[in-house]
Structure 1
Amino acid sequence: MQRLQAFKYELMPTGNQQRDMRRFSGSCRFAFNKGLALQKENYEKGEKFIGYVAMAKRLTAWRNGPETPWLKDAPVHPLQQTLKDLERAYKNFFEKRADFPRFKKKGLGDSFRYPDPKQIKLDQDNSRIFLPKLGWVRYRNSREALGELRNATISQSGGKWFVSIQTRREVEQATPHGDAIGIDMGIARFATLSDGTFFAPLNSFKRHENALRKAQQAMSRKTKFSCNWKRAKARVQRIHANIGNARRDYLHKTTTTLSKNHAMVCIEDLQVRNISKSATGSTDVPGRNVSAKSGLNKAILDQGWFEFRRQLDYKMAWAGGYMVAVPPRNTSRTCPCCEHVSAENRQTQSRFCCVECGYTENADVVGAINVLRAGHARFACEVSGAVKPPAAGTRRSELAEHC
């Protein structure tokens, strides 16, 4: 089977190369914003959507025009890729997978991509990579990039430049190891497994919250765009980068451990965007417990539930296993012993006590057990070709009839 994988390295560019990368990312940002403005103007006139081919012709006119001759200094392929990204953003919006495209802002997500592998040379022995109009750029060779090089993406984060090299290679179909496990996501416990073990939360943002607040307060007292303000802003960016790096490192280690030790992982199909919505409401209908809901939302987003599921999905496929997502309804209210469903079963956030049979256990463990049971049923129905898999709260006696 073919595997597409990206290897990310920190670049060590010279001063001229850093200036060129800032210029190239600025040119790509300009092309994206100009293309988005044209699409909006075209929509207001009632005309059809401008496709990539027509937009690429306009890019040629921008590069050769008298108003933006500096676009010629940037490589053309990254500019074309930016217009493809704009078309993909519109497609995701039309198919209701994402919000409407927004204009890019300087300093946020600065990046550009080289799509042609023939123009890129990777010298891993000497820890350097050749990029068009940048030349040979040194990088921190932390691990070997395996496979055939496909493209390279240059990005900036926390004042540092990085390169993500996507490769393609043939790998043997892996054989899964271990048994099936159910996972219940939470805040007090990041992930509770159906065998009773759990992963403690990292709370990366909470650990750096005080330092971030002080850095932001110091930045607010500086004159905007002054040298002191720029240094204070760089400090804030470094703290944000540390928060993200710690969270990603923890999620990668956790998902790697789960994918290597279990053949099937059953997880709740949580809609994080809906769960973390604000409770402020409107002027006419104000919300309730706004402060408490705001703290809960911050704690939920600090866990990285969506990124955890995304990483677990592709790592289970690499390991030859399966990841099954089940509806989370009543997973923590259903007794795994007598199957009685009641909100009174969960007396507190962590305590589960069945009002029917008296079964007592941690509520997160109960949720993980029910997720595992529903995952087994859903997987069996998918294999057998059932139209609609059962929900997590379905009784065992009903599962056989359902499948």
Structure 2
Amino acid sequence: MQRLQAFKYALMPTGEQQRNMRRFAGSCRFVFNKALALQKERYEQGERKLGYAGLCKLLTAWRNGPETLWLKEAPTHPLQQVLKDLERAYANFFAKRADFPRFKKKGQQDSFRYPDPKQVRLDQGNSRIFLPKLGWLRYRNSREVLGTLRNVTISQSCGKWSVSIQTEREVEQPLPNGGAIGIDMGVARFATLSDGTFYAPLNSFKRHETALRKAHQAMSHKVKFSNNWKKAKARIQRIHSRIGNARRDYLHKCSTTISQNHAMVCIEDLQVRNMSKSAKGSAEQPGKQVRAKSGLNKSILDQGWFEFRRQLDYKLAWNGGWLIAVPPQNTSRTCPCCSHVSKDNRQTQARFECVRCGFEENADVVGAINVLRAGHARFACEVSGAAMPPAAGTHRSDSIRLDS
């Protein structure tokens, strides 16, 4: 089985290397925004958008032009990769997988990518890596890089630079451990398993919400773009980074434990974007209970349900398991004993009591049991080749991509 995996490390660059990386990231941002503006201008004039080859020809002209001659100081391949990213963004937009491409801002997701492994040299013994026009950079060698190097991405977050090394290697097809389990996602309980165990929510944003609010208030009192304003903004970015790091760490620990101990995991096919839509409405038709819905949306987004499902997807594939997504409708309203469906079965948010047979259990556990049963039925249809109901089905890939 072919495995694509990325190993991320913190960089320890010199002052000159940091200045060069900021310049290279700025050059990539300039090329992306210039190409996007050109594409939008061609669309307004009724012309067809340029492909990747056409944009590369323009990139050569920009690098040789008198006004943008400074683009020559940046390596060529990262600038070309930016044009590929724009082409991919357009493809995702037309396939309705993402919104229309937006212009990049300075300080937000600054990064650039080296696609040619022949130009990169990795010296793990001395904890350093060689990159074109940057030289040897030292990094914190926290784990060994496995496989053949494919590409290298340099990124910046909260003033700290990191390197992601993507590799490719062949591994044996593993045999899964354990049996099948169903998972019910929630807010009061982050994940409830069909065997009765559950994972409590971390609520990393809620824990830092007070500090974040005070930091925003402090920044609002500063003169915009002054040195003190920049310091206050950096403080806000550090808090957001701390929130994201804590959430990712918790999701990785939960998903790793579940994927290593179960061969098949059934999960609800939740549409998080629809569930977290604003209830504000319009001036003509204002929404109801807007404040309560706003708090619920914040709690839903604080859990990281989609990221949890993404991690379960590739980790189960790495361990030889299966991830099955089932429709979430009536999973917490159906009695697992008599299969009676009624909204009256769920007396409260946490209590389930069947109005027909009197079965009592925690509502989240009931939801997980019903998810497991629906997953078994969907898996049986997949194996037998029978028609499956319209919803997300099983997924197992022999080539898994991991970005971090």
Q: Does the alignment reach a TM-score above 0.5? A: yes
Instruction: Tell me the amino acid that sits aligned with residue 232 of structure 1.
Output: A
8 Å Cα contact 1:12-1:138 kept in structure 2: yes
Instruction: Tell me the amino acid that sits aligned with residue 302 of structure 2.
Output: D
Corresponding residue for 1:113?
113
Corresponding residue for 2:277?
277
Mapping for residues 161-240 of structure 1, pairs under 5 Å: 161-240=161-240
Q: SS of the counterpart of 1:312?
A: helix
CA drift at 1:387:
2.2
CA drift at 1:220:
1.3
Mapping for residues 2-401 of structure 1, pairs under 5 Å: 2-389=2-389
CA distance in 2, matches of 1:230, 1:288: 39
For residues 333-365 of structure 1, give each alpha carbon's deviation from its aligned partner in whole angstroms, at most 9, with x where no partner exists. Answer: 000000000011011111101001000000000
CA drift at 1:278:
0.4
Q: SS of the counterpart of 2:48?
A: coil
CA distance in 1, matches of 2:243, 2:32: 29
Identity %: 80
CA distance in 2, matches of 1:127, 1:221: 43
Instruction: Tell me the amino acid that sits aligned with residue 230 of structure 1.
Output: K
Runs of 5+ in structure 1 lacking a partner?
393-403
8 Å Cα contact 1:128-1:138 kept in structure 2: yes
8 Å Cα contact 1:159-1:238 kept in structure 2: no
Q: SS of the counterpart of 1:242?
A: helix
CA distance in 2, matches of 1:386, 1:145: 43
For residues 121-156 of structure 1, give each alpha carbon's deviation from its aligned partner in whole angstroms, at most 9, with x where no partner exists. Answer: 111111111111100011111111101010000111
CA distance in 2, matches of 1:373, 1:212: 42
8 Å Cα contact 1:179-1:264 kept in structure 2: yes
For residues 235-268 of structure 1, give each alpha carbon's deviation from its aligned partner in whole angstroms, at most 9, with x where no partner exists. Answer: 1111111000000000001100000000000000
CA distance in 1, matches of 2:325, 2:284: 38
Instruction: Tell me the amino acid that sits aligned with residue 127 of structure 2.
Output: S
CA distance in 1, matches of 2:352, 2:130: 59
Q: SS of the counterpart of 1:334?
A: coil
Matched residues, number: 392
Instruction: Tell me the amino acid that sits aligned with residue 238 of structure 1.
Output: R
CA distance in 1, matches of 2:209, 2:375: 37
Instruction: Tell me the amino acid that sits aligned with residue 58 of structure 1.
Output: L
Q: SS of the counterpart of 1:230?
A: helix
CA distance in 1, matches of 2:234, 2:364: 40
8 Å Cα contact 1:381-1:389 kept in structure 2: no
CA distance in 1, matches of 2:389, 2:283: 41
Instruction: Tell me the amino acid that sits aligned with residue 207 of structure 1.
Output: R
Instruction: Tell me the amino acid that sits aligned with residue 240 of structure 1.
Output: H
8 Å Cα contact 1:329-1:391 kept in structure 2: no
Corresponding residue for 1:400?
none
**Higher relative contact order structure (alpha carbons within 8 Å, sequence separation ≥ 6):** 2
Instruction: Tell me the amino acid that sits aligned with residue 16 of structure 1.
Output: E
CA RMSD of aligned residues (A): 1.0
- Identify which range, 118-127 or 222-231, moves more after superposition: 222-231
8 Å Cα contact 1:6-1:166 kept in structure 2: yes
CA drift at 1:192:
0.1
For residues 277-303 of structure 1, give each alpha carbon's deviation from its aligned partner in whole angstroms, at most 9, with x where no partner exists. Answer: 000111111111110000000000000
CA drift at 1:391:
7.6
CA distance in 1, matches of 2:390, 2:64: 60
For residues 55-82 of structure 1, give each alpha carbon's deviation from its aligned partner in whole angstroms, at most 9, with x where no partner exists. Answer: 0000000000011111111101000000
